[in-house]
Amino acid sequence: MKLARVGLMVGVLALGGTVACSEENDVAKQNRVKGTNHLAKKEYKEATEAYALSLQADPKQEKVWEKKAFAHLELGQMDKASEAVLKILEMKTTPADKAETYRTLASMHMKGGTLEDAEKYFNEALKIEPKDEASLGWIAEIYAQKGGARSMSAPIVKADLEKSLSVYDQVIAINPNSANTYLNKRVVMGRLMEYERQQKDMALSEAAENAKDKTVVDEANARAAEHQKKMDEYQGQFAEMTKKFSEAQKAAKAQAAAGTP
């Protein structure tokens, strides 16, 4: 799956090697350097401890909170990593920076599989930037996952899939040339078609099992027909998404050829 840019914490540090410890008698600096030395050696537990001491002496070190969050992520300590990023958020002064920090926090939770928290922080970013295509796209993906769109063996949850389609439509309204959004929406539609097929088969089985009861048979057949109607509607929309995907790809190639951003 490919969506619009989202700021991930992964790879936040480009470490070129061990940093020499300063002789300056500065608790914050000394422990900051120790932490970075540990981080360079992938000694994440020791890094978090050194960074904690540095931040205790000087809590206004944004980059140190960032590195501490990264170390906690490597240790699988999502709660502590989130606490560190929330400290960074307190230091942000512009709406754009605050929104980007919320996206970073949401992306951490997305990577960690805590989808409810990811959605919460993407929504915080949207409160600041309502037309944030990236956050909307990831919220749609969250509901796609919850609805079973990313695994053929997962149970299908119709309400979540329908919510996903609704949010994808918001992304398309912002960016009609987002090829990946059409592709992702098509995947969700495919699962909704499967849901309707399952419901239709169940209705037909009920009719067959109660062949002697005309009332039951008529009601079951009516449901089967309704599910078939929904399948046909989704099939039409699926074909439309395929067409839109192709058009968006062509538009992107034309823009690239013309050097258009």
How big is the chain by its Cα radius of gyration, in Å?
25
Please report whether residue 14 resides in a domain: no
Please report whether residue 246 resides in a domain: yes
Do 83 and 162 reside in the same domain of the chain? no
Please report whether residue 247 resides in a domain: yes
Mean pLDDT of the chain: 89
Please report whether residue 208 resides in a domain: yes
3-state secondary structure of 193: helix
Q: How many domains does the chain have?
A: 2
Do 166 and 261 reside in the same domain of the chain? yes
pLDDT digits (tens, 9 = 90+) for 146-193: 999 998 889 999 999 999 999 999 999 999 999 999 999 999 999 999
What pLDDT sits at residue 60? 93
Cα 84 vs. chain centroid, distance in angstroms?
Answer: 20
CA–CA separation, 220 vs 222, rounded Å? Answer: 5
pLDDT digits (tens, 9 = 90+) for 37-78: 999 999 999 999 999 999 999 999 999 999 999 999 999 999
pLDDT digits (tens, 9 = 90+) for 77-133: 999 999 999 999 999 999 999 999 999 999 999 988 899 999 999 999 999 999 999
- Please tell me which residue, 181 or 13, carries the higher pLDDT value: 181
Q: Domain of 54: which CATH number?
A: 1.25.40.10
pLDDT of 18 > 70? The answer is: no
CA–CA separation, 203 vs 217, rounded Å? Answer: 9
Q: Which domain holds residue 241?
A: 156-261
Cα 149 vs. chain centroid, distance in angstroms?
Answer: 14
Do 167 and 248 reside in the same domain of the chain? yes
Query: CA torsion sign, 144 to 3 to 12 to 14?
Result: positive
Q: pTM here?
A: 0.82
pLDDT of 255 > 50? The answer is: yes
Closest CA to 58 of 21, 24, 31: 31
CA–CA separation, 29 vs 39, rounded Å? Answer: 15
Please report whether residue 177 resides in a domain: yes
**For residue 22, what pLDDT band results from cuts at 50, 70 and 90?**
very low
Give the end of a domain, one of 43, 75, 91: 91
Please report whether residue 6 resides in a domain: no
- The residue type at 252: A
- The residue type at 125: A
pLDDT of 13 > 50? The answer is: no
Please report whether residue 70 resides in a domain: yes
**Cβ neighbours of residue 158 closer than 8 Å, sequence gap 6 or more:** 147, 192, 195
**For residue 15, what pLDDT band results from cuts at 50, 70 and 90?**
very low
pLDDT digits (tens, 9 = 90+) for 199-252: 999 999 999 999 999 999 999 999 999 999 999 999 999 999 999 999 999 888
What pLDDT sits at residue 209? 96
H-only helix segments in 58-178: 62-74, 78-91, 95-112, 115-128, 133-146, 158-174
Do 87 and 165 reside in the same domain of the chain? no
Classify each residue of 182-210 as buried b or exposed e, where b means 16 or more C-beta atoms within 10 Å of its C-beta.
bbbbbbbbbbbbbbbeebbeebbebbeee
Please report whether residue 147 resides in a domain: no
**Cβ neighbours of residue 221 closer than 8 Å, sequence gap 6 or more:** 203, 204, 207
